[in-house]
Structure 1
Amino acid sequence: MKMALINGSPKGGPSNSGFLLEKLKPLITEGNELHSYRVNAKQLKPEQYRELNEADVIVLAFPLYFDAIPSHLLRMMVELENYRQSEPGNPNLIVYVLINNGFFEGRQCTIAADMVSNWCVRCGFRFGMAVGHGAGEMFNDIKMVPLGKGPLKNLGKAMTRLSTAILTRSSAESLFIQPNFPRILWRLSATHFFWHRKAKQNGLRPKDLRKQPFQESR
């Protein structure tokens, strides 16, 4: 099968979306053609839209932006929809989704997954399933942890379900998960090692992060 793996992160270098795709690749490589695409500020070329339109499987991986799809990736999806109107392409193309978000709960990704499902209807694609993962910013700190172990135990189970669906080109119930890590510890580590560090880099103090952006004058 021809499989198109699309990294929709706006970052130019390593990304959480790329992390998820790298964890998926070994599970679906054998006997298949995997082609990787990067969609950010630079859009795809016409020949790449043709390749996507003729693929058997598309895997979209992207970060959540305001509970939705990042605008640059949405633009690519619209272009592919328009391309498909003039070039019917593979009538049995099926789409799977990997979404990560900065909240702890994976269910924050449900709206974005529904958006992709609705887009599939417009394009004449089949929607396979989505995996939505919370606490995406943890991935950089646990990237050496084997899939299915420790904080990646839930992700390992989800990737097994996803890869099985991909290899059989079938649909399955979407999964919305979070790392196997106490929420309170995640919150403390995110506060002290991420947000406080970002504040310092921008000349702010931790207490400045707690200020209300708009206050009524009295």
Structure 2
Amino acid sequence: MQLPLTQACTWKGLLLLVSCMFLCIYVTATPYDQIANEELYDNVLSWSRRTHRVAQKMYKVLDSKVTERVCFKNKKNNTCQSTSTHTVKITEDLLKVIINVSNAWIYPLKMLIPAVFIHLGSHDGMLARAIELSYGNKVVLEGAKILLSKIQPGIEENDYPDSDLWPDLKELRSHNKSTHLPAFCKLFYCLRKDTKKIKCHLRALKHGIIKNRC
């Protein structure tokens, strides 16, 4: 059963709730710039593993309990806008790939939370997972930026445009299932793929290995 959109439960109220939940997490976190590199790698890698598990679970729930395997059947048609073609030769390159991919997800994950609340909020903790994914992605991004800044101080960030990169996001707002469910399938598929890539790259970095493919 889908949750209806009512006046008593506006997007503004939802975002206020999300902000409060983030605040509870942030106040207990240790700033990344205050910990050693080895601990920082461990922390960021731990969060990347966590976000990948959450992304996997969200895709599985959507595919098996909501769309009745439509996501799996159509996955070959999915093209992920955040796919990186950057050639990796040194540690800095690998960190830049992680930063670019994580940056690319900031906006869609922000839009995903209210969309999940409206269409998928009643399914097996999906809203809580969407919130955790958004936070975890920011944690990984912040950690990767600090690691890179220690190697290349003063490096400029590469921010992705909000709407140009994600033309399918508007379909998440549709109340038509045939429109918003395929959009969720594509988004969750790419989330699962990209969080796995980030986890793989961070694990390689921790062990001093440079890999072009994950």
Give the TM bin, normalised by the shorter chain: under 0.3
With the length of structure 2 as denominator, give the TM-score of the two structures: 0.24
- Structure number with greater CO (CA < 8 Å, separation at least 6) is 2
With the length of structure 1 as denominator, give the TM-score of the two structures: 0.23
Higher helix share: 2
